[in-house]
């Protein structure tokens, strides 16, 4: 049943989730009108909503503000009317007071101005189209239709192929920009007035830190809050057998009342065995979904469609629907409607081993270094000693001036910009800044778009308990000794699950390899398709890549599937970009670039 907003007064209401492949979209500006889907509903002049199953929404008209908010239930339950009863310059603080994933638009009746914001971690996309009038929306497909014959942005493609380090707003199509996570914009029908931040992670100051056990307890409490819905009907956990998703299961109100599933390739027994051991120990209902669709080019249409989203950064879009179809067939009484994932744990709680080793050399932690030497080997352990000595002697400014900058990316990217020289800060301060800034990068943007595309494709709500503002702030306060213990990453999660998870799961190393997955997919299964895809590559025609250089690298990659090439990210990004260009060409009007 569909609830029409045209029959609702502008009071706080929740609509019924619709079982259709849309997310719940917002549209701002009369310029959207010619491109709107047929099932949108207009709230006021120049503002439309399209309800969907992935996000709830709430309409509010209490006090001087009217607002439309989409997001998670915990955010929609906030007293938005009281929060928004504030002057214009206090709007950022009012939005920041609400926890959870939320995005929306606020306006004052009779005023042409519109304030709209994106959620903290970028789960909900926001794009704007430049021009003579406002067009802003959470629906990338409307943007690409409205952009018409606008050309491709080669700088964005080049950055994507080099790893997505850029933090600019410019999108893959010329004239299209994104709102970055945690940003608030003010616009009217004629122009965009400004964009500013309403939230960013809080960098720590040492005198503010609570004891480690208190911060650890707070992380545990936030995870329990984030997984409180795991025992609800229709909620499923994507369980990899790794520590991140296992911790979510252990943090739930009662693992025996939870449902979990594991998606694996049919010949990946280690991950499967670990998930089986874990769910047996905790009494969790568990399903195994063995799929073949995970091979990157098995279903290229899944990666080509939805041209407005840009290239799909990971070859996983096709296997989620296949897995969910299996779940629906096997568990008709537990049809998935909410999916919990461990996304964000690596970004919040992982640190580069080299940085940890530099820190141990700097503090003279000989016992830890001896243990690391036994696990990693003498060469790997000794290599960071030089960096630690340079730091201690205060010679890094001279080193930064003299040494050459690292290569910008693969050899076939002649136009890629290399990384800037490192700021003259301590390694740990640089690491904290890097983790905080990562949320603005295009690498992060495309991870969030992948989650949104999976939710859209599978008609699901996706919950990410690790993408929590308080967890993120707490994670930035953790020292190397608190992040890594006994040579193992993510020590906070291992401590939180001690006595709850089986020791074999709690102390295991990370399984899985993106390189192995893509190598087996492309080199063993998809050689002909890959070579055919790059015959007359559009990336080469746009001069984004050096065509002959890439063809040589691809042939070398495909000819040696048994040798771990360790360049699969670069190869896959080129495949994804070429697939996207094919999709863009088919969806563009005649004569478009």
Buried b (16+ CB within 10 A) or exposed e, 559-590: eebeeebeebbbbbbbbbbbbbbbbbeebbee
CB 243 within 8 A of CB 511: no
Closest CA to 146 of 28, 44, 36: 36
pTM of the model: 0.85
Task: Kindly give, in sequence order, each residue whose CB lies less than 8 Å from that of residue 519, ignoring residues fewer than 6 positions away.
Answer: 557, 561, 564, 565, 568
Window from 8-17, 121-130, 164-173 with minimum mean pLDDT: 8-17
User: What span, in angstroms and rounded, lies between the C-alpha atoms of 378 and 405?
Assistant: 27
CA distance 84 to 67: 9
pLDDT category at 189 given cuts 50, 70, 90 is: confident
- How far apart CA 327 and CA 338 sit, in angstroms, is 13
23: phi then psi, degrees, rounded to nearest 5? -100, -20
Kindly state the percentage of the chain with pLDDT values over 90: 30
pLDDT beyond 90 at 218: yes
DSSP count for the chain of H helices, then E strands: 27, 18
- So what's the pLDDT on residue 35? 93
pLDDT at 553: 85
Rounded CA-CA distance 312/375 in Å is: 36
- The whole-number pLDDT of residue 403 equals 53
CA dist 420 and 439 (Å) reads 18
Q: 489 pLDDT exceeds 80?
A: yes
Across 195-199, 287-291, 441-445, 564-568, least confident range: 564-568
CB atoms within 10 A of CB 132: 8
Residue range 3-16, pLDDT digits in tens: 323 222 333 333 32
Instruction: Label residue 103 by pLDDT band (50, 70, 90).
Output: very high
Distance CA 390, CA 402 (A): 13
pLDDT above 70: percentage of residues in the chain: 78
Asked if 140 contacts 309 with a C-beta cutoff of 8 angstroms, the reply is: yes
Residue, of 424 and 312, whose pLDDT is higher: 312
User: Lowest-confidence range among 20-24, 316-320, 556-560?
Assistant: 20-24
Query: 486 or 574: whose pLDDT is higher?
Result: 574
Question: Tell me, what's the pLDDT at 105?
Answer: 94
CA–CA dist 41, 322 (Å, integer): 33
> Residue 339: is its pLDDT beyond 60?
yes
Q: What is the distance of C-alpha 116 from the center of its chain?
A: 21
- Which one of 139-143, 308-312, 363-367 scores highest in mean pLDDT? 139-143
The conformational region for residue 549 under phi > 0 = left, psi -120 to 50 = alpha, else beta, is alpha
Q: CA-to-CA distance for 104 and 527, rounded, in angstroms?
A: 45
β pairing state of 127-129 and 176-178: antiparallel
Taken in order 190, 171, 469, 25, the sign of the CA dihedral is positive
Q: 405 CB contacts (<8 Å, ≥6 apart)?
A: 418, 419, 421
Question: Tokens for 534?
Answer: 């790059």
């Amino acid at each position: 049943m569909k609830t029409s907003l045209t029959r609702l007064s502008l009071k706080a209401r929740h609509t019924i989730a619709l079982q259709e492949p849309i997310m719940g979209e917002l549209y701002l500006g009369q310029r959207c009108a010619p491109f709107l889907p047929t099932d949108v509903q207009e709230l006021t002049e120049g503002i439309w909503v399209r309800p969907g199953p992935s996000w709830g929404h709430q309409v509010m008209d209490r006090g001087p503000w009217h607002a439309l908010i989409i997001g998670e239930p915990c955010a929609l339950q906030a007293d938005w009317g009281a929060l928004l009863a504030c002057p214009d310059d206090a709007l950022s603080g009012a939005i920041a007071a609400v926890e959870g994933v939320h995005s929306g638009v606020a306006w004052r009746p009779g005023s042409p101005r519109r304030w709209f914001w994106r959620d903290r971690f970028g789960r909900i996309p926001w794009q704007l189209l430049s021009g003579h009038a406002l067009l802003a929306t959470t629906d990338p497909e409307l943007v690409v239709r409205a952009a018409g014959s606008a050309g491709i942005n080669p700088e964005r493609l080049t950055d994507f192929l080099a790893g997505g380090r850029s933090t600019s707003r410019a999108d893959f199509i010329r004239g299209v920009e994104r709102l970055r996570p945690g940003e608030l914009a003010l616009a009217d029908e004629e122009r965009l007035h400004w964009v500013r931040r309403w939230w960013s992670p809080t960098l720590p100051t040492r005198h503010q830190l609570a004891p480690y056990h208190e911060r650890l307890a707070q992380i545990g409490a936030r995870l329990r809050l984030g997984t409180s819905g795991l025992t609800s009907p229709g909620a499923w956990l994507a369980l990899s057998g790794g520590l991140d998703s296992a911790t979510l299961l252990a943090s739930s109100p009662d693992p025996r009342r939870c449902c979990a599933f594991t998606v694996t390739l049919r010949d990946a027994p280690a991950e499967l065995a670990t998930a089986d051991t874990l769910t047996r120990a905790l009494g969790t209902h568990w399903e195994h979904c063995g799929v073949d669709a995970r091979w990157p080019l098995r279903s290229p249409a899944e990666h080509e469609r939805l041209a407005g989203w840009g290239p799909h950064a990971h070859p996983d879009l096709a296997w989620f629907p296949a897995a969910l179809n299996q779940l629906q067939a096997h568990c008709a009484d537990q049809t998935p409607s909410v999916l919990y994932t461990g996304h964000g744990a690596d970004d919040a709680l992982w640190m580069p081993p080299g940085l940890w080793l530099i820190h141990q050399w700097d503090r003279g932690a000989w016992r830890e270094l001896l243990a690391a030497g036994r696990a990693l080997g003498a060469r790997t352990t000794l290599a960071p000693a030089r960096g630690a000595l340079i730091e201690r002697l205060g010679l890094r400014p001279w080193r930064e001036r003299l040494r050459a900058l690292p290569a910008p990316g693969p050899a076939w990217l002649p136009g890629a910009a290399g990384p800037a020289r490192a700021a003259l800060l301590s390694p740990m301060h640089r690491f904290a800044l890097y983790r905080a800034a990562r949320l603005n990068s295009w690498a992060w943007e495309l991870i969030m778009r992948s989650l949104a595309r999976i939710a859209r494709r599978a008609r699901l709500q996706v919950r990410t308990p690790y993408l929590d503002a308080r967890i993120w702030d707490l994670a930035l306060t953790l020292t190397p000794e608190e992040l890594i213990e006994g040579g193992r990453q993510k020590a906070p999660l291992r401590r939180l699950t001690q006595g709850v998870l089986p020791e074999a799961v709690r102390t295991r190393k990370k399984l899985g390899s993106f390189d192995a997955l893509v190598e087996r997919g492309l080199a063993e299964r998809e050689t002909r398709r890959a070579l055919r895809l790059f015959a007359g590559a559009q990336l080469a025609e746009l001069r984004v890549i050096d065509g002959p250089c890439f063809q040589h690298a691809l042939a070398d990659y495909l000819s040696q599937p048994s040798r771990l090439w360790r360049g699969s990210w670069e190869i896959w990004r080129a495949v994804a970009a070429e697939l996207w260009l094919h999709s863009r060409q088919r969806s563009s009007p005649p004569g478009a670039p």
